[in-house]
Structure 1
Amino acid sequence: MAAKSIALFALAALFEIGGAWLVWQGVREHRGLLWAGAGVIALGIYGFVATLQPDAQFGRILAAYGGVFVAGSLLWGVALDGYRPDRWDLIGATVCLAGVGLIMYAPRG
């Protein structure tokens, strides 16, 4: 179950971060409405992917996904925008991912 959940978090991050990046490119980098429109579609797909998580608790899923979003956004910036995170970025992302692990995968009674 954890493997499926992790895969879904990665897929959700791809669509949400990618969608936001496409909108950014369309608006801020003046690439046009096609880029922004593709971003809006990707963001909609993100919303659907999030519903596929095995855990049924909306608040838990979205809270945990926040940590995935933080780390994924830094990785996206490195891969597509030439961003170089500093040690504080890396420490912060690590803390966020530790939070994801606690929220999603800690044993519950």
Structure 2
Amino acid sequence: MTAAIYIAAAIAEIAGCFAFWTVLRQGAPAIWLIGGLACLVLFAWLLTLVEVEAAGRAYAAYGGVYVAASLGWLWAVEGVRPDRWDVAGSAICVIGASVVLFGPRG
């Protein structure tokens, strides 16, 4: 369930940020900002659903998923295929996120 929440949160955050990017950098209509804000609210709410004892740990682990999802967005939405360095960096981030989230405690 945690992975699904992180993936959904990443899509919501990226979509929300992309709405702002598109308005401010590419001249899209300002109405896009309403959808962008809604996506960012959804993102924040989704992160509260992760079953960890500390918010900081949830956010740290989410970072790796965000990097991977951002590269998926790069390819699927922006039409730019990630190169081997993108893939390698993303793999390192996901491994790091897994250590933060699933490492033994206590």
TM-score by length of 2: 0.93
- Residues 1:50 and 2:72 aligned together: no
Q: Is the 8 A contact 1:74 1:85 kept in 2?
A: yes
- Residues 1:27 and 2:24 aligned together: yes
What is the CA-CA distance between 1:106 and the residue it aligns to? 2.3
Instruction: Return 5+ residue gaps in structure 1 as ranges.
Output: none
Partner AA of 1:77 in structure 2: L
Q: Distance in 1 between matches of 2:41 and 2:25?
A: 20
Q: Which stretch has the larger CA shift, 77-86 or 26-35?
A: 26-35
Q: Distance in 2 between matches of 1:56 and 1:24?
A: 33
Aligned to 1:97: 94
Q: Distance in 2 between matches of 1:92 and 1:22?
A: 25
Structure 1 residues 64-90: Cα deviation after superposition (integer angstroms, max 9, x where no partner): 111111111010010000111111111
Q: Percent identity?
A: 38
The DSSP-based 3-state class of the residue aligned with 2:105 is coil
- What are the equivalent positions in structure 2 for 1:43-82 lying under 5 Å apart? 43-82=40-79
- Residues 1:12 and 2:12 aligned together: no
What is the CA-CA distance between 1:107 and the residue it aligns to? 2.9
RMSD value, Cα: 1.1
Structure 1 runs, 4 residues or longer, greater than 4 Å off: none
Instruction: Return 5+ residue gaps in structure 2 as ranges.
Output: none
The DSSP-based 3-state class of the residue aligned with 1:81 is coil
Q: Which stretch has the larger CA shift, 93-102 or 32-41?
A: 32-41
The DSSP-based 3-state class of the residue aligned with 2:28 is coil
